[in-house]
Amino acid sequence: MGSLKKSGGYTGAILSRIATNDQHGENSEYFDGWKSYDKNPFHLSRNPHGIIQMGLAENQLCLDLIKEWIKENPKASVCTPEGVHQFSDIANFQDYHGLKEFRQAIAHFMGKARGGRVTFDPERIVMSGGATGANETIMFCLADPGDVFLVPSPYYAAFDRDLRWRTGVEIVPVHCSSSNNFKLTVEAVEWAYKKATESNKNVKGLLFTNPSNPLGTILDKDTLENLVRFVTKKNIHLVVDEIYAATVFAGENFVSVAEVVKDSEVNADLIHIVYSLSKDMGLPGFRVGIVYSYNDSVVSCARKMSSFGLVSSQTQFMLASMLSDDSFVDNFLMESSKRLGIRHGVFTLGLKKAGINCLISTAGLFVWMDLRHLLRVRNSFESEIELWHIIIDKVKLNVSPGSSFQCTEPGWFRVCFANMDDDTLHVALLRIQDFVSKNSNKTAEKASDNDQVIQNNNAKKQKWKQSNLRLSFRRLYEDGLSSPGIMSPHSPLLRT
């Protein structure tokens, strides 16, 4: 594609560099996970041996509340007998500033989603096609092709597409490690900044998600303030993708960068927030993304660019009504957090029963699962991918390997837990437990042959078990033994 086809080969590019480069990420090997899932999707009754999708960061736990509200508020839609009298006005509306009521309602909602501790100015609300569009728009506003943004890793896999593909911006990862629970530190950012500038890169800013995708952790206020100080000192931008602002179910309050802007002396011209209703409201199909900048020129530029990714006026109209219903929103946010907390608790407990630990998290729609002990070869990305294939093909779960989030330590996997019903989650847990226990039994059989050695040395025994478990994974894969569900792979890059 993209070139003239001549006797089986391609010569003479006829399409653009963007059309023919592979920066979109779709050709990544990790996309195999999605393909496997699409070919054989799990269904409780119709396809109980299919692959369960655990690579999709969707929040489906509170859609019943939204449906209920829609039924009770037929006027909010222009496609009902109760609302059709507004149809012509809304169908014709296309101003890229957006409906005033929509901007007001979303600004109000953004404040609520941050615990009511901050307010947002409707005049600074700029629409985009989801946070995907918002992240790209902000890059277009802040950086030129070849310029660099520092992004802490592990990071949301689709940032490679959203921040770089069409803009030509480069990402320099700020590596975070398990030694401090992947916590982002100013020192790590300083180091990445230094390395990038020493390589003559033009660093334009720092961008991270808070709460974090894929970690599910939130940044403490001190660190956030220190990071704001750092960008101010360097005179570079700070973009915080707060798409999970209200997807918090335990622990400390989430602190928005908006609170730091409110409470501290900062150069607000350098601070920008990306938001969306895809996670907190569970509405990714509505494509409601927001660029919120404290910089007037950025607001103005992003607004002009929003012509390329407007939210349909029909959607704006309905959401304006829904999001200004205070009692609905308050109840929704409370209930969502409660249901997520329960789901997270059930899932992590089930994993624990299978001997699997996760990074402690209090937010997000996923856990960061530690399978380092199951790698055939420790510290090997090849083994990570090997294990990932086993999980997809044999355990039949589509989870996401850490390498697709640019994690520098092999053996971590992101697993989503809010995009399915309770029964499907139960099956997923059974598959994982079954898989691990089968492998443990195999290990035990082997162990009895080696009783002597094992009894003599407890430490050795532990090590032996681990390596046999690793071998068992391998054997399971090669023998094609497998329970209907093992775990599985993830996906890629593009959809979550």
Ligand X SMILES: Cc1ncc(COP(=O)(O)O)c(C=O)c1O
Residues annotated as part of the active site: 156, 241, 243, 279
Our CB check for ligand X shows the closer of 90 and 157 to be 157
Helix (H) or strand (E) holding 343: helix 326-353
**Residue 152 near residue 189 (C-beta atoms within 8 A):** yes
The least CB distance from residue 279 to ligand X, in Å, is 7
Q: Are 436 and 487 in contact (CB under 8 A)?
A: no
In the 3-class helix/strand/coil scheme, how is 76-102 assigned residue by residue? HCCCCCCCHHHHHHHHHCCCCCCCHHH
For 191, phi and psi rounded to 5 degrees? -65, -45
Give the gyration radius of the chain's Cα atoms.
Answer: 24
Q: How far is the CB of 286 from ligand X (least distance, A)?
A: 9
CA distances from 195 to 199, 203, 420, 458 (A): 6, 10, 43, 45
Nearer residue to ligand X within complex by CB, 182 or 435 = 182
- C-alpha to C-alpha distances, 490 to 68, 385, 401, 427, 448, nearest whole angstrom: 33, 10, 6, 17, 36
- In the bound state, the residue with its beta carbon closest to ligand X is 130
Region label for 170, one of left (φ > 0), alpha (ψ between -120 and 50) or beta (otherwise): beta
Instruction: Compute the least distance from the CB of residue 245 to ligand X, in Å.
Output: 11
Min CB(436)–ligand X separation in Å: 28
Nearer to ligand X, 132 or 321 (CB): 132
Which among 198, 200, 220 is positioned nearest to 210, based on CA atoms? Answer: 220
Q: Which residues bind ligand X (CB under 6 A)?
A: 57, 130-132, 156, 209, 213, 241, 243, 276, 278, 284, 289, 496
| Least separation in angstroms between CB 134 and ligand X | 7
Q: How far apart, in whole angstroms, are the C-alpha atoms of residue 43 and residue 173?
A: 38
Residue 124's closest CA among 95, 103, 94?
103
Contact, 51 vs 43, CB < 8 A?
no
The helix-helix angle for 221-234 and 186-198 (nearest 10°) equals 20
Report the residue number, 232 or 361, with the smaller CB distance to ligand X. 361
CB of 52 to ligand X, least distance (A): 18
Q: Which long-range contacts (CB under 8 A, 24 or more apart) does 70-79 make?
A: 70/318, 73/321, 73/322, 73/325, 75/321, 76/317, 76/318, 76/321, 76/322, 77/314, 77/317, 77/318, 78/314, 78/317, 79/314
Q: Residue 236 in contact with residue 267, Cβ under 8 Å?
A: no
Min dist. Cβ of residue 162 to ligand X (A): 7
Nearer to ligand X, 271 or 436 (CB): 271
Pick the closer one to ligand X by CB: 78 or 157.
157
Torsion, Cα of 453, 459, 461, 464 (10° steps): -110
295/491 with CB nearer ligand X: 491
Q: Is the Cβ of residue 149 or residue 473 nearer to ligand X in the bound state?
A: 149
Residue 495 Cβ vs ligand X, minimum distance, rounded to whole Å: 8
How many Å apart are CA 336 and CA 248, to the nearest integer? 9
